[in-house]
Structure 1
């Protein structure tokens, strides 16, 4: 992990930042990836405060936070300017540090609480059409010509789209989670929260074939992980990304496709098919329905596009 060390960096700031990261990892169950991202933003904030002559969070006022946001937007000390979304994330991390410091009694007043992040531009998540998802999955070789890796890749794609789970949630699955071909899958999401997700017939069939024909060839008997690489180790996020990119090329898709694109497509197609937002919220594991409601904008835009083409007075 990146270090907080640096020239003229305040030890007091480093201590409270490290304390918060430890709290996130141990008490809140944050993933290693989340902690790493927070560490990067905290390092930037601490260096900025130290450069401003601040050695303790007690010395920070709202003007400091506002100046920090302004510097993030225009760039400082050789760092490129951040987008509104990235700046908002960086400020949220800084505010989290102050909130933790208040809880720990390090500061008496949380001056960061009232500093609002810049409003990010609305961005509709990318998604594929049903036909494009079908092309993507069907691009993987099947039948007698399919290798163990092909069978694994098809199972991975079917699982991602069929459940709408995050890539980390799918890669965290163990063989025992799917060994009995369950119609309902238990998925462990952010903060170690578990939720139930239906496992459709296509995904179940692909997983069954993978367990029978492919995983025994890949396994070295050392890990219970469901998805394995050719060395018998758990499949990494980078390798899963590569699986999708290879399928994109074979399917001749021109859109940018990531694991999250399949998650977005899952949600969009459910809403287009008549599912209510609350149900989709539960399936995605969103803590707030507000996060899920962005997909209603996607389906509304699809309706507008059809209307523009089909209506004589559009």
Structure 2
């Protein structure tokens, strides 16, 4: 366990990130895990957050490397430490930021996995086939259609309020990372799947009221503490549907459908700035990764379909 001083530093920093910057819950959890690990490592060496220097932070990163942690994990830990010390400097707890000039290991830039339009069609059909009851199958189809039509993050999908889709809307208001809101359009198939699910949902809610049960405020309710389907539950559902669709489940996650949404839009001629807005990316540089996915696809087409390439 960290010392009281370390706990105070970390908890105060996390509170400020949540209050001032609107950091998402998962981001705060990641910061907390990283900083607790760093504080614990310092204490085992007889050190503390208040007096750690640049050499100490670098030694910790070497320790993380020796543990076999991935580059991306080490880069994130350095970022967490750097931000904590920036906050400590602003608060007057430290006269410097010992992590400021440390060059991180860098992240390995991986192209996002995506799916072909044919793969997505098979997944959508599999979603409608999966489920013990008719309403489960309608719910599953609605979830997959929504995810592919809007490019929502899975956390945004499972926490989508029921009120957001009432009245057959053409656009849906999504609350994303950092509590930022954006409008995303709904495709005709997604609206049809939603309408079918809502009819069943309303029937179930009415039956529940007669038994004294209050309906869930979420579009996709669940038995968990949050009152909505969990991300883990949906993740497993996606894997099951991939198997039903004859697609390697290792290639498919909920985020893969988000990538497919962006890649297929770009291939269809959509502007990168539009895709950035729809995905809720703060920086267009994050969205630019999809241009590389498309470049690889076009390169593959030239190498496999061009008549001179086939002769070679």
> What 5-or-longer segments of structure 2 have no aligned partner?
none
Aligned to 2:286: 291
Would you say the 8 A contact 1:169–1:187 is kept in 2? yes
Q: In structure 2, what is the equivalent of residue 110 of structure 1?
A: 97
Change beyond 3 A, Cα 1:230–1:17: closer
The residue that corresponds to 2:303 in the other structure is 308
Tell me the SS of whatever aligns to 2:220.
coil
Match of 1:244 in 2: 238
State the shift of 1:198 in Å. Answer: 0.8
Matched, 1:184 2:171: yes
Cα distance in 1, alignment partners of residues 126 and 216 from structure 2 = 29
The answer (yes or no) to whether the contact 1:148–1:215 under 8 Å persists in 2 is no
Give the 3-state SS of the residue equivalent to 2:173 in structure 1.
strand
Q: Is the 8 A contact 2:243 2:249 kept in 1?
A: no
> Against the structure 1 CA distance between its residues 29 and 215, is the aligned structure 2 distance closer, same or farther, given a 3 Å change threshold?
farther
Question: Distance in 2 between the 1:166 and 1:84 partners?
Answer: 24
The structure with more helix, counted as a fraction of residues: 2
Structural mapping, 1:189-208, within 5 Å:
189-208=176-195
Distance 1:163 1:141 in 2: 18
Bigger drift between 83-92 and 21-30 goes to 21-30
Structure 2 residue aligned with 1:262, among 234, 257, 262?
257
Residue 20 (1) aligns with residue 13 (2): yes
Q: Number of residues paired by the alignment?
A: 299
Structure 1 CA distance for aligned equivalents of residues 229 and 49 of structure 2: 43
1:1-314 matched pairs, under 5 angstroms:
5=1, 9-57=2-50, 59-75=51-67, 81-141=68-128, 147-214=134-201, 216-217=203-204, 220-229=213-222, 233-256=227-250, 257-314=252-309
Rate the CA distance shift 1:215–1:48 in 2: closer, same or farther, 3 A. Answer: farther
The answer to whether the 8 Å contact 1:10/1:56 transfers is no
Change (3 A) 1:125 1:43: same
Q: Are the aligned partners of 2:173 and 2:184 in contact in 1 as well (CA < 8 Å)?
A: yes
Deviates most, 21-30 or 279-288 = 21-30
Cα distance in 2 for partners of 1:287, 1:108 equals 31
Tell me by how many angstroms 1:148 deviates.
Answer: 0.7
- Using the TM superposition, give the Cα deviation of residue 215 of structure 1 relative to its aligned residue in structure 2, in angstroms: 5.1
CA drift at 1:146: 6.0
1:263-288 superposed Cα distances (whole Å, 9 cap, x missing partner): 01101101111112111111100000
Q: How many Å apart are 1:235 and its aligned residue?
A: 1.1
What is the alpha-carbon distance in structure 1 between the residues aligned to residue 49 and residue 156 of structure 2? 38
1:276-304 per-residue CA deviation (whole Å, 9 max, x = no partner) reads 21111111000001101111100000000
The offset of 1:11, in angstroms, is 2.7
Deviation of 1:213 (Å): 1.9
Render the CA deviation track for 1:18-42: whole Å, top value 9, x for unaligned. Answer: 1111222333333333222221111
Tell me the distance in 2 between the aligned counterparts of 1:286 and 1:138: 29
1:47-66 residue CA offsets vs partner (Å, 9 max, x unmatched): 12222322242x22221121
Q: What is the Cα-based RMSD across aligned positions, in Å?
A: 2.0
Change (3 A) 1:43 1:210: same
Distance 1:250 1:217 in 2: 28
Which deviates more, 299-308 or 28-37?
28-37
Distance 2:127 2:48 in 1: 56
